[in-house]
Amino acid sequence: CELYISDDNGRNMGCIFQNVSIGIEKAYFLVNGSSKDSLIQFYDEYIDLYKIEILTAPLNVTAHCTRDSASCIITWHPPLTSHVENVKCFQYEISIQNKVKTISWFVFGTVPMLMHIYNVRNDRYKFQNYNEKKRYIVKIRARGTGCLISSDWGEWSEPIEFGKTMKY
């Protein structure tokens, strides 16, 4: 194991591998355990690595809004993988929230409200419900659709704010 994941008692509970090449062949895993108190049965399995890969967040998320068409074009780059070059292999989930001003006795700030989720197959989305008087938060995540990529949703991108600049 390259990097063990340990629990609070210092026991090795998992393993992280970095710079792994993912291909069509299954990887063989053999896990041995040890204990001074009892015999621990080993565990082994052949695993398709792409099925357990956790996709990173899409990169370079941007939003460009135009007043004329009352829409915003949101663009991004696919997650980094060692084995996929075809952008058509990904499906994206886009979360767009309207950010509204809130006032309370001790707190004056903003909170996300009214979330919309959109699913798309390419690396751009035209947000047509744009209101130039409002501020929005967008974040994106990806999963595979075929192409030897995990079908589980990956990590969310960092939230990006766009729209009207609020003055407090």
Tens of pLDDT, residues 59-103: 999 999 887 767 889 999 999 887 777 778 899 999 988 876 544
- pTM value is 0.74
Residue 126 lies in a domain: yes
In angstroms, the CA 76 to CA 96 distance is 14
| Distance between CA atoms of residues 78 and 122, nearest Å | 9
**Residue 54 falls within a domain, yes or no?**
no
> Residue 136 has which token pair?
């929005």
| Residue 20 included in any domain | yes
Report phi then psi at 150, rounded to 5. Answer: -55, 140
Distance between CA atoms of residues 8 and 34, nearest Å: 18
| pLDDT of amino acid 115 | 61
pLDDT, residue 104, reads: 43
Whether 13 shows a pLDDT value over 50: the answer reads: yes
Within this chain, do residues 94 and 153 fall inside the same structural domain, yes or no?
Answer: yes
Do 143 and 84 reside in the same domain of the chain? yes
Which region holds residue 80: left if phi is over 0, alpha if psi is between -120 and 50, else beta? Answer: beta
Specify the number of domains making up the chain: 2
Q: Which stretch of DSSP H or E encloses residue 38? A: none
Claim to verify: residue 43 and residue 25 sit in the same structural domain: yes
The whole-angstrom distance between residue 88's C-alpha and the CA centroid of its chain comes to 17
What is the domain range of residue 43? 3-49
The pLDDT value recorded for residue 101 is: 52
Taking residues 27-50, report their average pLDDT.
89
- The CATH number covering residue 145 comes to 2.60.40.10
Same domain (yes/no): 98, 123: yes
